């Protein structure tokens, strides 16, 4: 397993794709039902293979990720060569927050001197999608270019 197995809810979303995946791999409905009953490990291996395939395709499309908390906002731009990070951190205890777009906007307007902002980058290894997976496992969620660009203008 390269990434993780999809949950039952996620598999339901991709049920049609999973049926096609099974057929392409020579497993028809009756065989799948029997495999689920008597060959659970083999069935699980097919689910893992399908999960990795789906997640690989999803991760290939992701360019921006973010992670927010009360005191931090980190936004990543990940291309094929490098990962760039813009980080906002509240320096001291503050009534401001960096947990929502509105609170970030408010903090930048009302307490900009209390916010440390920096940008850095690092080279991406051989497996860009695995880097994205690790960031998501650490709590990052997909973000967008507009948010990245607005933070980049601050710098």
Task: Give alpha helix (H) positions in the chain.
Answer: 8-13, 15-24, 29-38, 40-61, 101-110, 128-137, 145-154
Tens of pLDDT, residue by residue over 23-64, are: 999 999 899 999 989 999 999 999 999 999 999 999 999 999
Shared domain check, 134 and 112: yes
Shared domain check, 71 and 19: no
Residue 91: what pLDDT? Answer: 85
Residue 130 lies in a domain: yes
Residue 38 lies in a domain: yes
Structural domain ending residue among the three candidates 44, 61, 78: 61
Q: What is the DSSP letter of 5?
A: P
Shared domain check, 40 and 23: yes
Range of the domain at 44: 8-61
Cα–Cα distance measured from residue 112 to residue 130, given in angstroms and rounded to the nearest whole number: 35
Shared domain check, 72 and 145: yes
Residue 98 lies in a domain: yes
Shared domain check, 37 and 73: no
Shared domain check, 68 and 56: no
pLDDT band at 96 (very low <50, low <70, confident <90, very high): confident
Residue 2 lies in a domain: no
Q: Is the pLDDT of residue 92 over 80?
A: no
Shared domain check, 119 and 44: no
């Amino acid at each position: 397993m390269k990434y993780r197995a999809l949950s039952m809810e996620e598999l339901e979303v991709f049920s049609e794709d999973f049926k096609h995946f099974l057929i392409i791999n020579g497993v028809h409905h009756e065989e799948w039902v029997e495999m689920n009953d008597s060959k659970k490990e083999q069935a699980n291996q097919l689910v893992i293979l399908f999960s990795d395939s789906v997640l690989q395709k999803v991760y290939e499309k992701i360019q921006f990720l973010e992670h927010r908390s009360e005191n931090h906002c980190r936004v990543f731009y990940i291309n094929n060569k490098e990962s760039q990070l813009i980080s906002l951190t509240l320096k001291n205890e503050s009534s401001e927050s960096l947990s929502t777009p509105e609170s970030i906007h408010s903090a930048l307007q009302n307490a900009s001197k209390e916010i440390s902002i920096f940008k850095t980058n690092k080279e991406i290894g051989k497996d860009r999608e695995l880097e994205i997976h690790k960031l998501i496992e650490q709590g990052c969620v997909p973000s967008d270019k507009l948010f990245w660009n607005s933070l980049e203008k601050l710098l």
